[in-house]
């Protein structure tokens, strides 16, 4: 526990912030309308680890992320091919609005389905694509 308390505060300055061609809110609204979603969020996200001895940050990674909540564009949440195709469409719609998209090597499209049938339930699917090719990849692909 002492070790956790002595950790330096995280520094997220390595995350390149997107330079939007229109406002972030306008992009979210556009994607929300195109894909009939209840909510859409876009932005950069990152993660890092710490060196065991020095406690210095290491393995800093960042990527661009799009989240769609309850999109009516989803035909079959369990059909990998259809979800991949929809994810690529979403990615293409977003990357055209990011001036510095070349600073990112990945984009994550997350589809979230939430409902309440007496109990709050949720399904989530994360799809990672390489940029600019939009080939399916993983978050950690040893790149």
Average pLDDT of every residue of the chain: 91
Q: What is the SS3 assignment for 122?
A: strand
Distance separating alpha carbons of residues 143 and 121, to the nearest angstrom: 35
pLDDT above 90 as % of the chain: 71
| Res 4 pLDDT > 90 | no
pLDDT, position 126 = 96
Distance separating alpha carbons of residues 22 and 34, to the nearest angstrom: 16
Question: Which residue segments constitute the domains of the chain, with CATH numbers given?
Answer: 21-137 (3.30.300)
Distances (CA, A) of 29 to 42, 54, 58, 79, 131: 10, 44, 35, 26, 23
pLDDT, position 37 = 98
Q: Per-residue pLDDT tens for 53-85?
A: 888 888 878 999 999 999 999 999 999 999 999
The structure's pTM equals 0.87
């Amino acid at each position: 526990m002492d070790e956790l308390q002595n950790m330096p505060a995280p520094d997220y300055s390595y995350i390149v912030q997107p330079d939007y061609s229109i406002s972030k809110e306008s992009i979210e609204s556009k994607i929300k309308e195109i894909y009939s979603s209840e909510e859409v969020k876009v932005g950069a996200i990152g993660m890092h680890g710490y060196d065991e001895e020095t406690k210095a940050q290491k393995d800093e990674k960042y990527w661009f992320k799009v989240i769609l909540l309850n999109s009516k564009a989803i035909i079959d949440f369990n059909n990998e091919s259809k979800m991949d195709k929809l994810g690529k469409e979403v990615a293409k719609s977003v990357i055209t609005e990011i001036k510095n998209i070349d600073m990112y090597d990945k984009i994550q499209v997350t589809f979230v389905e939430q409902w309440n049938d007496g109990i709050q339930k949720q399904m989530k699917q994360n799809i990672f694509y390489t940029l600019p090719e939009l080939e399916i990849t993983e978050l950690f692909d040893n790149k």
